[in-house]
Amino acid sequence: PGPAPWWASAVVYQVYPRSFADSDGDGVGDLRGITSRLDHLADLGVDVVWLSPVYASPQDDNGYDISDYRAVDPTFGTLEDLEELTDALHARGVKLVMDLVVNHTSDEHPWFVESRSSPSSAKRDWYWWRGPREGMEAGAPGAEPTNWRSAFSGPAWSLDEASGEYYLHLFSRKQPDLNWENPDVRAAVHEMMRWWLDRGVDGFRMDVINMVSKDVAADGSLPDGRDADPRTGLAGGGEHYLCGPRIHEYLAEMHAEVFAGRPEALLTVGEMPGVTVADAQRFTDPASAEVDMVFQFEHVDLDHDGSKWHSVPLDLLALKASFGRWQAGLAERGWNSLYWNNHDQPRIVSRWGDDSPEHRAASARCLGTLLHLHRGTPYVYQGEEIGMANFPWASAEQLRDIESRNHLAEEVGHGGDPAEVLSRVAVSSRDNARTPVQWDASPSAGFTTGEPWIAVNPDHAHGWSVADQADDPTSVLAHYRRLVALRHDWPVVALGDFTMLVPEHERVYAFTRRLAGEGPDGAPAVDELLVVANVGSSPVDLGDLLPEAVAGPGRDLELVLGTVPGGGGGDDADVAADPVLAPWEARVLRRG
Ligand code: TEU
């Protein structure tokens, strides 16, 4: 293998612009707001910013419904503001990765407007138009071409009354799916991507990119045989559009048309619901020339049963088994991305940590340590670095997310008890990730001088803000800074082999990282880290659980990074040797 790619030792930070920082007091975050807060990102030390969509959009799904790929939505500013942000990031050595949403457009995109205008329109075939099910009347219940469900409730097909045909939308009815079978669609996407790269963008995070190839029959028909059990798959019918028959062809073509031969150091990451380890090997194998890494969903699907609205407690053994398989599966070929959070997931400290006052900071540090010490490129979602928690949703009116609101309406419409449905939505809602970043303890947390578009978490006044944590060496923020630095400074963190230890232990998450290299004298040497964490709110005695690893003969362990306040400070040797792990304590130890 050649030299390690630059992103092996990089950390990416995701900005969700609507909720990051508001510069003009309209209550919605914007580009100038981001530019005004770059000190925070520099201080954290991240290498790349992934910016969620800022393109022109009716904002039906907060910008994931794009009506002009080459314009900035006035909500967020102007193209000049984006240029300023790009330059300011580059001046600090930080790259900018844009969101690429090309499985679908907005229904207000000129392409769809033209497509919808008539069945004989030149762009009709740019989207998925189909007549009603054979022998059925358009608009009759169940007459949709397939029974696939939209991820945001209801059928995945909507009827256009004028033509009597349906169009496909795997997400909202305002997000019609593009027809990638049509080469003109693909060419238009490639051209747009090159346009952004030419403007200095450093890569793309590709929204649901493994959904662009649909399992369509040779004659273009979608027969009854393509119906699915409506309760399986992401949106019901996933087997017909997740990693479909032409997906590798499309991504290889995109790579050749857009990225190949570019001298810049770029990053591509494909968001891929339902992707398996075997799929990911091929997608991320440099020899396939498709994408650098993928976002997989296996771990974040572990704590619900069937639907994301039915949460079950996390099984730590299953989590370890899942991470272990991904680490092993992408060890030789390909590369992992690592994330706990993004704009679609509830906050990790509330989800798998313990957000009670006693354990919140410790569990945030512990989970951060675990993630960042795996092999792969870690992603930090805004606010994660200060231990932001879920919001205490008390009424349906507080929710803004289309997915949450549609689900509430649907369940209540079917006779569900509103309070019960709300309590389940509150746990899993994407809005948990979308409350404003907490910059300080002032009334709107320093996010805006106006009325915030979504509630600010009241805990910002109680220590959970950037201002409160910035100068406190024991804070979650200070700990995340150390995690980022560790990946930059230690090749073994970026590149070392991964071996899971004690996979059957119910409370301890432990693994080693090993990298063969050269010692100071030029002789061959192995650098080895042991990571051990207590994933729970009571102490755990390691006893002789890890005798070899912890106290093998001649194996002194040095504490590289600890999570208990003071750890990493003066009495490191004692900490390293203590057999008892405090609640949510994590240690990164190095063999002497
Ligand atoms: O998400 C796709 C996806 O698979 C999910 O995480 C999805 O949001 C679903 O609701 C899970 O419950 C991407 C974007 O990240 C998301 O914000 C968009 O809403 C979606 O695509 C459509 O563009």
Q: Where do the structural domains in the chain lie, given as residue ranges?
A: 9-105+183-215+240-469, 110-168, 494-591
Query: Quick check: 574 pLDDT over 80?
Result: no
- Calculate how far, in angstroms, residue 64's C-alpha sits from the geometric centre of ligand 1: 9
What is the pLDDT averaged over residues 251-280?
97
Q: Which is it for the CA torsion 74, 77, 79, 82, positive or negative? A: negative
Atom number, ligand 1, closest to the C-alpha of residue 345: 6
Which residue among 107, 144, 271, 528 is the active-site one? 271
CB 381 near ligand 1, within 6 Å: no
Atom 6 of ligand 1 has which residue's CA nearest to it? 344
Query: What is the CATH topology of the domain spanning 494-591?
Result: Immunoglobulin-like (2.60.40)
Q: What confidence score (pLDDT) does residue 423 get?
A: 97
Q: Which tokens belong to 586?
A: 């994590």
Atom 17 of ligand 1 has which residue's CA nearest to it? 344
The per-residue pLDDT of the chain, averaged, comes to 94
Is 207 among the residues known to form the active site? yes
* C-alpha span between 557 and 573 (Å, rounded): 8
Q: Which of 243, 307, 308, 344 should be mutated for ligand 1, with most atoms under 8 A from CB?
A: 344
CB 144 near ligand 1, within 6 Å: no
CB 344 near ligand 1, within 6 Å: yes
Q: What confidence score (pLDDT) does residue 465 get?
A: 98
- For 359-387, the pLDDT digits (tens) are 999 999 999 999 999 999 999 999 999 99
Q: Which residue has the higher pLDDT, 229 or 98?
A: 98
Q: Give me the CATH code for the 9-105+183-215+240-469 domain, please.
A: 3.20.20.80
Tell me the three-class secondary structure of 15-67, residue by residue.
ECHHHCCCCCCCCCCCHHHHHHCHHHHHHHCCCEEEECCCEECCCCCCCCCCC
Q: What confidence score (pLDDT) does residue 549 get?
A: 55
What is the pLDDT confidence band of residue 229, given thresholds at 50, 70 and 90? low
What is the pLDDT averaged over residues 237-258?
94
Distances from the Cα of 542 to the Cαs of 41, 473, 509, 529, 552, in angstroms? Answer: 37, 27, 11, 17, 14
What is the pLDDT confidence band of residue 325, given thresholds at 50, 70 and 90? very high
Which residue among 207, 355, 384, 411 is the active-site one? 207
Atom 7 of ligand 1 has which residue's CA nearest to it? 344
- For 4-60, the pLDDT digits (tens) are 899 999 999 999 999 999 999 999 999 999 999 999 999 999 999 999 999 999 999
- Calculate how far, in angstroms, residue 19's C-alpha sits from the geometric centre of ligand 1: 17
What is the pLDDT confidence band of residue 69, given thresholds at 50, 70 and 90? very high
Query: Quick check: 83 pLDDT over 80?
Result: yes
CB 64 near ligand 1, within 6 Å: yes
Atom number, ligand 1, closest to the C-alpha of residue 343: 17
Q: Which tokens belong to 273?
A: 């619901």
Q: What confidence score (pLDDT) does residue 569 get?
A: 44
Asked whether the domain spanning 110-168 has the same topology as the one spanning 9-105+183-215+240-469, the reply is no
Q: Which of 328, 326, 335, 329 is nearest to 298 (CA)?
A: 326
Q: Which of 299, 341, 563, 300 is nearest to 437 (CA)?
A: 341
Q: What confidence score (pLDDT) does residue 568 get?
A: 44
Atom number, ligand 1, closest to the C-alpha of residue 64: 23
Atom number, ligand 1, closest to the C-alpha of residue 103: 23
Query: Quick check: 164 pLDDT over 70?
Result: yes
Query: Quick check: 218 pLDDT over 60?
Result: yes
Whole-structure pTM value: 0.96
What is the pLDDT confidence band of residue 185, given thresholds at 50, 70 and 90? very high
Looking at domain 110-168, its CATH class is alpha beta
- For 425-467, the pLDDT digits (tens) are 999 999 999 999 999 999 999 999 999 999 999 999 999 999 9
What is the pLDDT averaged over residues 216-230?
72
CB 81 near ligand 1, within 6 Å: no
Atom 14 of ligand 1 has which residue's CA nearest to it? 207
Q: Which tokens belong to 136?
A: 């059925």
Percent of the chain's residues with pLDDT above 70 = 95
Atom number, ligand 1, closest to the C-alpha of residue 234: 4
Contact between residue 433 and residue 425 where contact means Cβ atoms under 8 Å apart: no
Query: Quick check: 266 pLDDT over 80?
Result: yes
Strand pairing category for 293-295 and 267-271: parallel
Query: Quick check: 307 pLDDT over 90?
Result: no
Q: What confidence score (pLDDT) does residue 577 get?
A: 77
Strand pairing category for 95-100 and 129-130: unpaired
CB 241 near ligand 1, within 6 Å: no
